Structure 1
Amino acid sequence: MEHTLTADFLAGQTVLLRLDLDVPVSADQVSDDSRLLSSLETLKFCSTHAKRVVILGHLARPDGYDESLSLKPVIKEIERLLDQPIFMVPFHEGLGKSYNNKIVALDNLRFFDGEAKADPEFGHKLASMGTVFVNEAFAVAHRSSASTTLLPSLLPSRLGFSFANELAALETALQTVKHPIIMIMGGIKADKIENVDMLLKNVDNLLLGGRLVDLVQPQDKLVLASLTPDGLDITAESATVFSSLLRTAGTIIWNGPLGKFEDPSYNKGTTIVANAMASTTAFKIAGGGDTLAAIHQLGLESKFDHLSTAGGAMLYYIAHKTLPAHEAILHSPSKPSAK
């Protein structure tokens, strides 16, 4: 594969490495490092074979600079996992400077207005800090930004190992899919609704729970749950209906708990439906941080054929059969300059 990451591609280069650093942080400590662990192989590989590594990433959705959303605790955790020092560039130093440290990290890219807007000037400043680009942030592969879709047009680019593995798993799943295909979607992120029309073209039924049910109109193949009076869980009746449908599935795709799962008072719907999924012989895919947390809490990891760390990117790929960040890599310059 032309865009496979290799030692030859990295040799003598300064690699801009886009990681998924949007992890939960509490009291200046990373409380779940699973996304960091999934990218560790690529980071070690780049550190071993490249001249220098510049880590790029974001945390949450700040509106300008916000010290409470600095990547400092995340980079500190990566230092611990990697067992190597990382120099973190102070935000006030801006972009475009060169550093002699083996591994350098920029602070939260979303502190810069140009990141989310995919601003060309901002993208060129980022690109000036490296000679090649590697994207290991599958979780944001469905979004256009300077660091995910603009950098590949400016630098020779490759996919990180975890990104490539996630993509391959989804491609395989969709190629070998068995009908009926039933997707179940919950959570509170309203932007999931953007994919509903396209998803309905690719599945036999879409079961919708959580607060999402208030954001759509009934239509063919869309099954909406009823919510409890406080709106924090689906009703027992809806959980039973969902479970019955899931037992007929050939393929199940799950993204998002069906209620406020982290609160034991509101995890009944998710628990009932998740156990119904686990009891089927269907091919099962689940994705997203909250979804994986629910599966882990219920001890059902072994019952799923593929678990993705990314929810939004997984949904986008299933709906559109492509991802903007992957398309950008495919059309990037193929070879780095000789060093």
Structure 2
Amino acid sequence: MPAFKTLDDLSDIAGKRVLVRVDLNVPMKDGKVTDATRIERVAPTIQELSNKGAKVILLAHFGRPKGEVVADMSLKLVAPAVEEVLDQHVAFASDCIGAPATEAIAKMGNGDILLLENTRFHKGEEKNTPEFTARLAENGDLYVNDAFSAAHRAHASTEGLAHHLPAYAGRTMQAELEALEKGLGKPEHPVVAIVGGAKVSTKIDLLQNLVTRVDALVIGGGMANTFIAAQGIDVGKSLCEHDLADTAKAIMAEAEKSGCAIVLPLDGVVAREFKADADNEIVDIHAIPADAMMLDVGPKSVDAVNEWISKAATLVWNGPLGAFEISPFDRATVSAAKHAAEQTRAGNLVSVAGGGDTVSALNHAGVADDFTYVSTAGGAFLEWMEGKELPGVAVLHG
């Protein structure tokens, strides 16, 4: 990965206006933020810049207002949670460009923090128009991007600004890029990838990229059924994309050519209904009853997955092995997650995980803090795993 500048390359920034792109797209209920993880992730960058006397001007989007002003997508609703996490006053400007922004910035003292209104209230943000980007750039002397989760979008505040102002990676962006480099950029082999989730159709690019880069690919979740069915095995009423049998076969053929082992379930936990604590049984993969569906991989499969995790030097994980949200179909995911955490704690494994369901699954297993790095970025993490260049990252390389 080419070098990019970080906050370590910034000196004497007292009094400088620093535009910091952060991810404040947090879940809310009844006007209150219900999960402040994303705010907590960007706090170190904001505090470091503030402590060095910079005028810290936060740029972010919230929801999908599509270029219109939508009251319940105003960042004013998020500002109190930002103040709480930072334990510092955060001023708010009712627009991210024009007089409201200019006037609020003029009032700032060194070390102050200002949150500008939702950048997506302007159509120029997502279109990355030169006019809108230039108006945003007028507000700052330097640009810091700390929103990896939005780095797969070439928007004005994630990509355009870096063409106008000296650009740097914030601490979260830096940690993410360094972790990803260890995960797939220049990993230590053997590399094992675990990919789960419901559908193959959403992860074709990902699987095609991984089979050429990893030593073993563990396929779990509903998508494993598509691969099993492609081998002529009856999967009963299990979630399965039968129309993707040829795609599954092509991925397996590519894996064989590349020397990548494909690890599919050997047994499964099946039930007749999809609900918590439904009557269930463990069956061999060749013996799935016609009226049942596989909702988790079985103990033999878990042993095989854990054996691969034990052999691995690097693990990249995206997606659960079963329907972990409902008991007892969380057993395989929890067991593999705990084993990966043990191997990581013992210093035998670099473990990088990401994607919404994956983060939830690792939290459910109680091991998210034990992994080397857990990315909170959904789409950006997936596109990175697919081998795609992320515009918001590429532009930082200058």
TM-score by length of 2: 0.70
Give how far 1:59 is off.
Answer: 2.5
Distance change >3 Å, CA 302–CA 210, structure 1 → 2: same
Aligned equivalents of 1:176 and 1:168: distance in 2? Answer: 11
Alignment of 1:15-30 (within 5 A): 15-30=18-33
Match of 1:69 in 2: 73
Match of 2:279 in 1: none
Alignment of 1:177-326 (within 5 A): 177-186=188-197, 192-210=203-221, 217-218=247-248, 219-220=251-252, 221=255, 235-237=295-297, 240-241=300-301, 244-249=304-309, 250=312, 251-258=314-321, 261-264=324-327, 267-268=330-331, 270-275=333-338, 277-278=340-341, 282-301=349-368, 303-320=370-387, 322-326=389-393
Distance change >3 Å, CA 25–CA 224, structure 1 → 2: farther
Give how far 1:263 is off.
Answer: 4.4
State the percentage of identical aligned residues.
Answer: 32
Q: Which has the larger radius of gyration?
A: 2
2:83 to 68, 74, 79: 79
1:147 to 145, 150, 157: 157
8 A Cα contact 2:192 2:308, kept in partner = no
Distance change >3 Å, CA 207–CA 176, structure 1 → 2: closer
Q: Could you say what the CA RMSD is over the residues aligned between the two structures, in angstroms?
A: 3.4
Aligned equivalents of 1:47 and 1:190: distance in 2? Answer: 45
> SS of 1:45's equivalent?
helix
8 A Cα contact 1:211 1:231, kept in partner = no
Aligned equivalents of 1:267 and 1:291: distance in 2? Answer: 12
* Residue segments in structure 1 that go unaligned for 5+ positions in a row: 332-339
Aligned equivalents of 1:278 and 1:167: distance in 2? Answer: 21
Distance change >3 Å, CA 29–CA 248, structure 1 → 2: same
8 A Cα contact 1:180 1:248, kept in partner = no
> SS of 1:146's equivalent?
coil
1:3 to 2, 5, 8: 5
Moved more, 71-80 or 240-249: 240-249
Give how far 1:274 is off.
Answer: 3.0
Q: What letter matches 2:124 in structure 1?
A: G
1:95 and 2:130 aligned: no
Match of 1:337 in 2: none
Moved more, 185-194 or 25-34: 185-194
Give how far 1:43 is off.
Answer: 0.3
Distance change >3 Å, CA 94–CA 139, structure 1 → 2: closer
Q: Which has the higher contact order (CA 8 A, sep 6+)?
A: 1
> SS of 1:253's equivalent?
strand
8 A Cα contact 2:296 2:330, kept in partner = no
8 A Cα contact 1:209 1:259, kept in partner = yes
Aligned residues: 329
Distance change >3 Å, CA 118–CA 269, structure 1 → 2: farther
Match of 1:334 in 2: none
Q: What letter matches 1:257 in structure 2?
A: P
Aligned equivalents of 1:26 and 1:65: distance in 2? Answer: 20
8 A Cα contact 1:192 1:312, kept in partner = no
> SS of 2:172's equivalent?
helix
Distance change >3 Å, CA 256–CA 52, structure 1 → 2: same
8 A Cα contact 1:39 1:136, kept in partner = yes
Q: What letter matches 1:178 in structure 2?
A: H
8 A Cα contact 1:209 1:234, kept in partner = no
Give how far 1:66 is off.
Answer: 3.0
Q: What letter matches 1:146 in structure 2?
A: A
2:127 to 83, 105, 117: 117
Moved more, 216-225 or 58-67: 216-225
8 A Cα contact 1:86 1:103, kept in partner = yes
8 A Cα contact 2:205 2:386, kept in partner = no
8 A Cα contact 2:33 2:78, kept in partner = yes
Distance change >3 Å, CA 237–CA 294, structure 1 → 2: closer
> SS of 2:78's equivalent?
helix
* Residue segments in structure 2 that go unaligned for 5+ positions in a row: 227-239, 256-261, 276-292
> SS of 1:59's equivalent?
coil
